[in-house]
Amino acid sequence: MRIAVVGSGYVGLVAGACFADMGHEVILVDNDQQKLAALRSGQVPIHERFLPELLQRHRGKKLQFSDNLHEAARASTAIFVAVGTPPTNSGDADLSYVESVAREISGGIDGYKIVVEKSTVPVYTSEWVRKIILRNGAQADSFDVASNPEFLREGTAVTDFLFPDRIVVGADSDRCAAVLQEIYAPLSDGSYYKRADAIPGPDRAQIPPPVIVTSTKSAELIKHASNAFLAMKISFINAVASMCESVGANVQQVCQGIGTDSRIGPRFLNPGIGYGGSCFPKDLMAFRSVAREVGYDFRLLDEVMRINEEQRQRFLRKVRNALWTLRGKRLGVLGLAFKGGTDDIRESPAILLVQSLVQEGCVVAAYDPAAMERAREVLRSNVEFVGSPYEAAAGADALLILTEWEEFATLDLPQINRKLRYPIVIDGRNLYNPEMMAAHGFTYYSVGRAPALPEGLPTGDSRGNQKI
Ligand code: UGA
């Protein structure tokens, strides 16, 4: 199948590379000349496992790069729209990029084609895309608009794309659904997974993945509802973690106890410093906005967002409680990206926390395996970027763990202890066992678990709980 993918951002680039790996002829379209030149010359703009291999494999062969949307549309049977839908000031999704793509491709529709929404868009967007294409001269029976939401996560984008839990095909005609099903056939008939050169899958992969055929509007809603549900799950467990801290329970034990109920499931039940990234915060606001527009006041989403904000503030209070005053304190910080495994710092709770700490007079020595270059652009004064966790710990009054990189879960603890000015670790991702940290001589604070103190130190109160 000849496919155009419009937009070479996270989703577009990964989708383009994966479609090529599935055997399709892909043209990846972008109007950013610099980005195109970089991609053509072999650069990989994002930190994503297996993406360098796929680009290397298909660049200039099954994967071409172009700035000519009109021609790419003309040459393709399916046009996937994966451009940005950033939030406006009011929290709605800004659909102006989607609209301009719809306008530009109309002239390239010279035979039956499908236009597929891959970006996360509000329900009803497909109707607008159709209207815009018709207004610009395309024949009503020469195209269909479909929704094929993408559920990949940053950091595991390629495997998420090629080994999805499900493939959602939102189409309002059989003809349109058939084109999308043909595109995904290498996954849904299992043939991709039998290939010797297939990208290796994760342990949990369901092979082959099921295809769920829905109406276009349902597919649009599935994407927003999925992200909102996952964010709700995170806020829920963060709220439970706060209760655990108040009563002296252990959130990890609670998670095990509730996550083993197959109706709840253990994934996305990790408490932390709140969710971030380019998707959950933006999509929750957009979903709430769409709900309002169609007459439903989705207040549950307000609460999910409030708990998320509160979670970051609680962590700040935890740092204050551990160190008393903050002015002039030196803090080692591990992790700047919005989560482990990525260099993306958009809406990163780690960055927001560092900014708050600096504002309160701290000096921060920060380390992240992938996100330092990006972080340098937003963190300027009173932040030193260092080359390892041990350098971050050197001379610091405390060490803060803000993202769950694997590297941070396997630190040489005696070395960290020796480097720190005071052996205090405040872990926003629960990477360590509290008793083990105490045994290594640390005062250790985490989320939803009682603090652990090295033997001989007085506990904060009679139950040994944190007072927050
Ligand atoms: C999220 C969804 O998981 C994807 O399915 C979706 O395709 C994507 O948004 C999107 O809409 O494009 P992503 O933003 O890459 O993916 O990252 P997640 O792994 O979902 O993490 C989001 C945030 O939640 C991170 O800050 C992470 O640290 C936090 N999180 C996640 C927790 O605090 N606890 C958890 O248990 C899981």
Percent of the chain with pLDDT strictly greater than 90: 94
Distance between CA atoms of 293 and 93, rounded to whole angstroms?
12
Q: What is the pLDDT of residue 465?
A: 38
Q: Report pLDDT digits (tens) over 359-370.
A: 999 999 999 999
Please state the pTM of the whole predicted model.
Answer: 0.94
Tell the residue number behind the tokens 């399709």, with chain if given.
24
Per the CB < 8 A criterion, the answer to whether 298 and 231 are in contact is: no
Q: What is the mean pLDDT of the chain?
A: 95
Q: What is the pLDDT of residue 204?
A: 82
Q: What is the pLDDT of residue 468?
A: 35
Distance between CA atoms of 302 and 287, rounded to whole angstroms?
11
Q: What angle do CA 420, 422, 428 make, to 5 degrees?
A: 80
Distance between CA atoms of 225 and 50, rounded to whole angstroms?
29
Q: Report pLDDT digits (tens) over 122-153.
A: 999 999 999 999 999 999 999 999 999 999 99
Indicate if ligand 1 lies below 6 Å from the C-beta of 153. yes
Domains delineated in the chain? 2-214 (3.40.50.720), 223-307 (1.10.1040.10), 308-445 (3.40.50.720)
Q: What is the pLDDT of residue 456?
A: 65
Q: Which two tokens stand for residue 229?
A: 């549900």
3-state SS, residue 451: coil
Tell me: pLDDT of 386 over 50.
yes
Burial class of residue 89 in the structure, from the number of CB atoms within 10 Å of its CB (0-12 exposed, 13-18 middle, 19+ buried): exposed
- Half-sphere exposure (CA, 13 Å, Cβ side) for 436? 11
Give the DSSP letter of residue 458: P
Indicate if ligand 1 lies below 6 Å from the C-beta of 339. yes
Distance between CA atoms of 340 and 404, rounded to whole angstroms?
5
For residue 152, which amino acid is it?
L
Distance between CA atoms of 419 and 12, rounded to whole angstroms?
43
Per the CB < 8 A criterion, the answer to whether 170 and 217 are in contact is: yes
Indicate if ligand 1 lies below 6 Å from the C-beta of 235. no
Which residues have C-beta within 8 Å of that of residue 454, sequence separation ≥ 6?
423, 438, 439, 441, 442, 443
Distance (Å) from CA 230 to ligand 1 centroid: 8
Distance (Å) from CA 292 to ligand 1 centroid: 24
Averaged over 397-407, what is the pLDDT?
A: 97
Q: Report pLDDT digits (tens) over 285-324.
A: 999 999 999 999 999 999 999 999 999 999 999 999 999 9
Q: How remote is the C-alpha of 400 from its chain's centroid? A: 22
Percent of the chain with pLDDT strictly greater than 70: 97
Distance between CA atoms of 413 and 407, rounded to whole angstroms?
12
How far CA 426 is from CA of 103, 173, 251, 319, 411, in Å, comes to 51, 54, 16, 7, 14
Distance (Å) from CA 138 to ligand 1 centroid: 38
